[in-house]
Amino acid sequence: MINLEQVTKSYAKNGAEVYALREVTLEILPGEFLAVRGPSGSGKTTLLLTVAGLLRPTAGKVRHGERDLYALSRGQRVEWRAAEIGFVFQMFHLVPYLSVLDNVLLAGPIPAPRETAVRMLEELGLSGRLKHRPAELSAGECQRTALARALVRSPKLILADEPTGNLDPDNAETVMRRLKQFQADGGTVIVVTHSDDHDRYADRVVRLEAGQLVDNGDGTTGKTGG
């Protein structure tokens, strides 16, 4: 279970306080597929990075199970992230000088077994691309590589930031189906998106606007006291 309790993230900008997240309270169940929707600048990516332990909130708590994420040391968070989280980004973030296979083996401080990585890539239709570099791949192939990298260490949670944003419909479907399969295997998925194209894959869709949770998918808002 992931719990966000009254999470606020604010920045000082030109002397004024700007809120990326404002008193967001959200509960994500184990094995849930959650879509976070909202327009650009609504705080979706901030929410994702906060859940990932990469962005300390200004106020509030983020809990993964019983663990208060930001009560952990930075090193403990690094270890936790390596063990439990896989990332998929809109811009893929593949390392340009590594082959497809080496990009997948990059996940975590200790690489996954090579056979597992190869199997994962074959499963995603990249068996003929193992030695290619990202520059030699299509956008869909890049995203499938990034997806393989996220999945190869069998994380408990996949955080996906606009994973289909740069893909054609066919590749977008492939990615979403694979994420759905990950959920079916027991994983939890949080997908950030600004469109409703893939709402059907999600168990629940929450909406953020100007850093506030305006709809938490069950007809209530996640904002309290505001």
Partner 1 sequence: MSRAVRLIFSELRFRKLNAALSLLSVTAAAALFVAFYTLTEAQERETRRVTRDLGFNLRIVSRETEMDRFYADGFSEKTLSEDAVHRLVQHPNLSYNHLVATLQGRYQLQGNDVLLTGISPEYAPPGRKKKPMIFSIERGKAYVGFHVAQRLGLRQGDPLELGGRTFHVERTLAESGTNDDIRITANLADVQAVLGLPGRINEIKAIDCLCLTPDENPLGILRSELEAAVPEAKVVMLRSMAETRARQRQSAEKYFALLTPIILIGCAICIGALAMLNVNDRRQEIGLFRAMGNSSASVMGLFLGKAVIIGVIGALLGYFAGLELAVAFGPHIFPQTSAAIGFSANLFGLALFAVPAFTVLASFLPAAAAATQDPAVVLREG
CB of 24 to partner 1, least distance (A): 16
CB of 104 to partner 1, least distance (A): 11
Contacting residues toward partner 1, per CB under 8 A: 45-46, 49, 52, 54-55, 74-75, 78-79, 81-83, 85, 87, 89-91, 93, 95-98, 102, 105-109, 111, 149, 161
Listing DSSP states for the chain in one string gives -EEEEEEEEEEEETTEEEEEEEEEEEEE-TT-EEEEE--TTSSHHHHHHHHTTSS--SEEEEEETTEEGGGS-HHHHHHHHHHHEEEEETT----TTS-HHHHHHTSSSSPPPHHHHHHHHHHTT-GGGTT--GGGS-HHHHHHHHHHHHHTT--SEEEEESTTTTS-HHHHHHHHHHHHHHHHTT-EEEEEESSSTTGGG-SEEEEEETTEEEE-SSSS-SB---
CB of 148 to partner 1, least distance (A): 13
Q: 81 or 216: whose CB is closer to partner 1?
A: 81
Q: 75 or 225: whose CB is closer to partner 1?
A: 75
CB of 138 to partner 1, least distance (A): 19
Q: 102 or 215: whose CB is closer to partner 1?
A: 102
Q: 54 or 214: whose CB is closer to partner 1?
A: 54
CB of 116 to partner 1, least distance (A): 15
Q: 52 or 121: whose CB is closer to partner 1?
A: 52
